[in-house]
Structure 1
Amino acid sequence: MIKWFISSTLIIIALKLYNAVNNIHSQWLSFHYNERLDYFTRLNKRLKAGGILFLGDSLTENFYLSEFFPDHYVINRGVSGDTTYGILCRLKTSVYDIKPNKIFLLIGINDIGNEKSLQYIINNIKLIITEIRKKLPDSKIYIQSIYPVHIDVNNKIKKRIVGKRNNKKINMTNRQLYGLSRKYNVTYINVNKKLKDKKGQLKYQYTQDGLHLSPLGYEIVAKELEKYM
């Protein structure tokens, strides 16, 4: 009876801790999202029209664009934890107010992590494209394929970071993104294939934790994107 009580108590404590951590994480994402938008609003006042805009989540936010592309006027509008819906909600601040010549979009990996349906992801990206086209018809849009993840457990790969993301759903989404790009006359850039190992995972040396890229990973991405700059 005592063992059962202790075991049940430990389970309850573990669940409370798990929910508390998730709640803190959600609050941080909301705070970070709003903080970044406030930052963008202030920065936009200093910008001139006609730059090359990178739009996305943490994979974009962590991309040191000016160092990788010193010969180009590049603008980073990445927000860690962002989703396709989050992008839709911040198009004015992150895109319209900047009036870029080119837009490189990389989004969807967190939707996959949040177990959103493939149709949901594609519909939102379709909306992103069509809304940008309405406001900025002369801006050229490039869709990057969603990057792979590394899921083999070892001392560097963090399962809690990779979460429920998997390469099967990533590949399915990328196939749909390719079809979407053809339908809407948008340039599709298959960066995913440049980052894969023989098992179809994100190469070990290209990642920090299974999801986010290492400096070497960003070098591969920059080399591929340079062709379109």
Structure 2
Amino acid sequence: MRSLRITLTLIFVCCIAQFASAQDWANLERFRQANSELSMPKSNEHRIVFMGNSITEAWIKIRPEFFKDKPYVNRGISGQTTPQMLIRFKQDVIDLDASVVVLLAGINDIAGNTGPSTIKMITDNIFSMAQLAKVNGIEVIICSVLPAADFPWRPGMNPGPKVIELNGHLKAYAQENDLVYVDYFFAMVDSTNGLRQELGTDGVHPNAAGYLIMEPLLEQGIVKALKKD
């Protein structure tokens, strides 16, 4: 009987934890305190906010030197999809007095992390974030989704063609709306439309060598975006 009570208690605790997590589906609490403690940008300082998923979140952990002593604010959350980012965009980008936002998103939507998602659903969310940024005087850098031939957490989905299609829409939108487009895909793709083996850990997430490819491309994009500011 005691064993049964313990088991039921554990089940109840797990259910409560899952319920609580579901109530903050977009993870608005993740950066709430950090945002409140972030000071206003200094005079003539151009704050760059990175909005993304695990590829963005891991960037500052794997390559902290890229962020050191720069007005870069990392707001990546592992596993997130574009609808989640759109919900938290105001508090994690607009309210931070950003000069530029770097949008790197979409691969988890293709993987179906928060349910089935079409290319149009993904672009609608990314374009909405771009529009919100522009209305608030924030310059936008739209980044290509990195190449991926398969997902280790959801194998057999063949994401390569969808990544290429998505990137085509992102590039066209950037060109049509005078936004900066940073193409990581072309610099990192292999012959199978996947991430080059030496640039990643699992075919999706870049390693230090991968970020070293991305960094100068992004810095060029930041320079272009700031000229528009």
**TM-score of the alignment, normalized to the shorter chain, above 0.5:** yes
Amino acid at match of 1:59: I
- 1:62 is aligned to 58
Number of residue pairs aligned between Structure 1 and Structure 2? 197
Amino acid at match of 2:193: G
Q: Measure how far apart 1:162 and its partner are.
A: 5.4
* Aligned-pair Cα RMSD in Å: 2.7
Residue 29 (structure 2) aligned to one of 21, 38, 46: 38
Q: Measure how far apart 1:174 and its partner are.
A: 0.3
Q: Measure how far apart 1:165 and its partner are.
A: 5.2
Matched, 1:160 2:153: yes
> How far, CA to CA, are the matches of 2:118 and 2:171 in structure 1?
17
Structure 2: state its 5+ residue gaps: 1-13, 223-229
Q: Counterpart of 2:93 in 1: which secondary structure?
A: helix
> How far, CA to CA, are the matches of 1:83 and 1:34 in structure 2?
11
> How far, CA to CA, are the matches of 2:26 and 2:132 in structure 1?
24
> 1:198-217 to 2 correspondence within 5 Å?
198-217=191-210
- 2:10 is aligned to none
Question: Residues 149 and 162 of structure 1 are in contact (CA less than 8 Å); yes or no, is this contact kept in structure 2?
Answer: no
> 1:116-155 to 2 correspondence within 5 Å?
116-134=117-135, 136-137=136-137, 139-151=138-150
> 1:3-152 to 2 correspondence within 5 Å?
27=18, 30=21, 37-47=28-38, 48-49=40-41, 50-64=46-60, 66-114=64-112, 115-134=116-135, 136-137=136-137, 139-151=138-150
> How far, CA to CA, are the matches of 2:200 and 2:174 in structure 1?
27
Structure 1: state its 5+ residue gaps: 1-22, 152-157
Matched, 1:174 2:172: no
> How far, CA to CA, are the matches of 1:70 and 1:177 in structure 2?
29
Q: Measure how far apart 1:71 and its partner are.
A: 4.7
Amino acid at match of 1:106: L
Amino acid at match of 1:178: K
Q: Counterpart of 2:162 in 1: which secondary structure?
A: helix
Q: Rate the CA distance shift 1:98–1:66 in 2: closer, same or farther, 3 A.
A: farther
Question: Residues 161 and 210 of structure 1 are in contact (CA less than 8 Å); yes or no, is this contact kept in structure 2?
Answer: no
> How far, CA to CA, are the matches of 1:127 and 1:163 in structure 2?
30
> How far, CA to CA, are the matches of 1:72 and 1:39 in structure 2?
22
- 2:177 is aligned to 184
Q: Greater CA deviation, 162-171 or 217-226?
A: 162-171
Q: Percent identity?
A: 29
Q: Rate the CA distance shift 1:207–1:42 in 2: closer, same or farther, 3 A.
A: same
> How far, CA to CA, are the matches of 2:155 and 2:98 in structure 1?
32
Question: Residues 103 and 140 of structure 2 are in contact (CA less than 8 Å); yes or no, is this contact kept in structure 1?
Answer: yes
> How far, CA to CA, are the matches of 1:39 and 1:124 in structure 2?
20
Q: Rate the CA distance shift 1:117–1:39 in 2: closer, same or farther, 3 A.
A: closer
> How far, CA to CA, are the matches of 2:99 and 2:179 in structure 1?
14
Q: Measure how far apart 1:228 and its partner are.
A: 2.7
Q: Counterpart of 1:129 in 2: which secondary structure?
A: helix
Q: Rate the CA distance shift 1:34–1:93 in 2: closer, same or farther, 3 A.
A: farther
Question: Residues 26 and 85 of structure 2 are in contact (CA less than 8 Å); yes or no, is this contact kept in structure 1?
Answer: no
